[in-house]
Each structure stands twice: as C-alpha cells, then as structure tokens.
Amino acid sequence: MAGLQHSLSLKKNLDQRARERFTSSMRAWVLTDLAGQMHADYEAARTAANQNHDSGEAVHQFLKERGLFKWYSSLRCATQELVWQSVLRAIENDPQSLNKHQSESPVKASGSLTLDSTISLPAYAREMDVHLMPGNYQGGEDHDTAAGIIYDNGLDVFSFGVMGQNLDDIGHSMANFTRLKWSNLNPDLIVDVGCTIGHNTLPWKQAFPSAEVHGLDVATSCLEYGHARAEALGVAIHFRQAGCDALPYEDKSVDVVFSSMFLHELPTSMIKAFFAEAHRVLKPGGILINMELPPNDAISAYDAFYLDWDGFYNNEPFYKEFRDLSYQRLCTDAGFKADDFFQATMPRFTYVSETEFAETAIADASFDGDTGRLSDTITWYAFGAQKSLSV
Ligand SMILES: C[S@@+](CC[C@H](N)C(=O)[O-])C[C@H]1O[C@@H](n2cnc3c(N)ncnc32)[C@H](O)[C@@H]1O
C-alpha cells in the first residue's frame, strides 16, 4: 500500500489502517508466495501424471481438484472481498468523506467536468459487481456518490504498492512509451477512454504538458471524484461523460486514443465499436494505445490459466473471451493497417531509470510469467496501432 497522496483521502483510524495493511500483505503473499507454490505443485503433478497441456483451459481442468489450487482460489476471493470491506468500513467511520469531493475539493488546476444525463453504465456493467466491487462503478444504493472513493481507496489496498505512488504507473509507462517511440508526435489532444477516476490519465498531461488531455467514462460518480482528485493534485484534465462507442469528437481530430485495463471489461461487440470510433477520430499518424493483459496466444498455457483465473472466479465475464481474441485483428477490422499494429512490453516507468525503461519498451515485445501479472516484478503490456498517414 502506498497510501493516497491527495487531500480527498479518507480519514482512517489505527484499526482501519491495520485492516488495510493486513489485506494488502495477505494479497501480496497469495499472489507471490502461494502462487509460486501452486505453480510448483502443478509442474510436479503434471510430470508425475506424464501430461502436457497446450491451453489455459487444460491447465485449469487439471488443477481444479488440487488442494493448493483451491487454497489459492479461496484466499484470493476472500482477500478481494476484504479489499472492498476495508474501504467501506472507513467510509462508514467518516461519512463526510462521501461528499468531500463534491463540496470541498480544492481547485488547483484548470480542468473541467462535463456530465451528460442521457448516458449511464451499459447493462453488461450494471448487472453485476465487477471484480466483486460493491455497487460497481455507479455506487450502490447506500453509497451512490461513493464509487470513485471506493475505487481509489480500494485500488490502493488491492495493488499492494506495485502500481506507483499515485496508483498511476501504468499511465506514466504508456505516456512515456508513446513519447519515446513516436518522438515527432507533438500531440494537441489526448483522450483516455474508460478512465474511471483518472489514475492513469494525469500522467499524460505530465508527459505532454502542452497537450489537452481528456478523460472519458460513462460513470457519473467516478468522473465527479476523478475531477476533484485531478484538481487536488493540480493537474488540468477535462473529464467528459461519454461512451466508447460514440466518441464526442470530429473525424481526424485526436492525436492519441488511450485505454488502460478497460477492454477486458467489455463485450467484444463494444470493443469493436470502440476501435472503429478510435480509427474515425484519430488524425492520420495518430496513435491508438491500449494497456491490457497479454493475449493468450503469446504466453504459456500455465500463464494463460493464471491470468484467466479472474474470468472464472472474480466477476470478470469478458476476461477470457477478450484474451482469446487476436489483438491485431481487432485493429485491422477497425480500419488500421496490419503493418501499423504494434505491441510492447515494458518495466514500470516510475520504478526504473528512463534509460532502462526505453531500452526494454522500444525493443520487440517479449513475454514471460511477469507479463501483466500483479507482483513487484510485473511488466506492462500494450498494443494498438498508428493510423496510416494515407487514410
Ligand atoms: C477497469 S475500469 C478502467 C480503469 C482505468 N482505465 C484506470 O486505468 O484506472 C473500467 C471503466 O470502464 C467504464 N466503462 C464501461 N463501459 C464503458 C463504455 N461503453 N464507455 C466508456 N466507459 C465505459 C466503467 O465505468 C469503468 O470506469
């Protein structure tokens, strides 16, 4: 846990801090030590049974009845629930925090918030508590303004200190990768689609100070909180309520369309609609870049099983469907040229030197057990395409 570094953070007493630290440490143990034991148990059992598995599904079927897999899965589910419970307890103890971002938010930058009451969370996202988050991105009945607060505080506990000081390393990594790879880009307008509360939107303004940076999402409560958070951190971001299938921009008017941890929460038809919109609004030479989990066909059967776990046990219904797709095909179906597709793997920008980051990020993508796997050795994966200059 890094602890939130802005003035909207919840007031927490010692008990609450202890509960959060326990949950974070437990998650770190489950996702590193216990996960390592489960992998070793798998290799030993597979060798003893003289079996080879060529897909994540086959590994999953083989492991399902093994004690270590059950132990790992139960603890991951339990700690996932504890993440949200620990935050809800803190909100109950500090009920004023529910309105703090609406009433007291300090305005330090010149960003904006534009809501559209005709837009709401699509049914696929409303109908269940995605990754077991109570009330989803819209907030529950008791906490209808709280989704942003729950997400911000929950992610801090969930990520056990591996996502950067402001939970923004993905944004720093993707923005700086873009800056280094396309050094002549000079963007005027950068749009982060499905930004939630803007954790990974702010770094784009920091990497490209002269660009206008927009954060788009469908969830009112997240956008309101995200706007207050960005102002409190002194970074000018323009938050807008909009769906990814109807981007509110003219044709050929945007330099970068970015998303992070977004596509795996969408049905395939929505991803396709988003990519078609991205292709429409991008200027020739503009960049579509998505930080995501790596595709199943690039990694080992065991790693595919490991990353798809959430699709079976963590209310992530589109996870596996998405990771089974050809990411290049998603881009070409939307109008990008096959030669303009890219994918990259990179260390966390805020944890290494820029030289080390650049060397790895700009080289060809390379995949191993750390790619996209939450731990303190995680490497990020990104894919997308540059829009052809001749379109
Ligand atoms: C996992 S979160 C994205 C996390 C965020 N990009 C980050 O880096 O912190 C998924 C977000 O997608 C939003 N969302 C779901 N469907 C959407 C759609 N059709 N258009 C725009 N946003 C959508 C949800 O409201 C939610 O905030």
| CB 200 near ligand 1, within 6 Å | yes
Residue pair 3/45 in contact by the 8 Å Cβ criterion = no
pLDDT at 106: 64
pLDDT at 135: 77
pLDDT at 53: 96
Task: Give the atom of ligand 1 at the shortest distance from the alpha carbon of 196.
Answer: 27
* Residue 221, token pair as written in the block: 């409560």
Residue pair 226/215 in contact by the 8 Å Cβ criterion = yes
With the most atoms of ligand 1 within 8 angstroms of its CB, the residue from 265, 292, 348 to mutate is: 265
DSSP state of 315: S
| CB 261 near ligand 1, within 6 Å | yes
pLDDT at 134: 80
| CB 26 near ligand 1, within 6 Å | no
Question: What is the residue-level pLDDT of the chain in tens, covering all 391 positions?
Answer: 667 878 787 878 888 889 999 999 999 999 999 999 999 999 999 999 999 999 999 999 999 999 999 999 999 999 999 999 888 888 877 777 766 666 656 667 799 999 999 998 888 888 778 788 887 887 755 546 688 888 999 999 899 889 998 999 999 999 999 999 999 999 999 999 999 999 999 999 999 999 999 999 999 989 999 999 999 999 999 999 999 999 999 999 999 999 999 999 999 999 999 999 999 999 999 999 999 999 999 999 999 999 999 989 988 889 999 999 999 999 999 999 999 999 999 999 999 999 999 999 999 999 999 999 998 899 999 999 999 998 7
Residue pair 217/266 in contact by the 8 Å Cβ criterion = no
Atom 11 (ligand 1): residue with closest C-alpha? 194
Query: 249-287 b/e with 16+ CB inside 10 Å = b?
Result: beeeebbbbbbbbbbbbbeeebbbbbbebbbbbbbeebb
Atom 26 (ligand 1): residue with closest C-alpha? 196
User: Taken in order 172, 173, 174, 178, is the CA torsion positive or negative?
Assistant: positive
Query: 100-117 b/e with 16+ CB inside 10 Å = b?
Result: bbeeebeeebebebeeee
169-386, CATH topology level:
Rossmann fold (3.40.50)
**Domain boundaries in the chain?**
14-106+134-158, 169-386
Tell me, in angstroms, the distance from the centre of ligand 1 to residue 20's CA.
Answer: 25
pLDDT at 140: 59
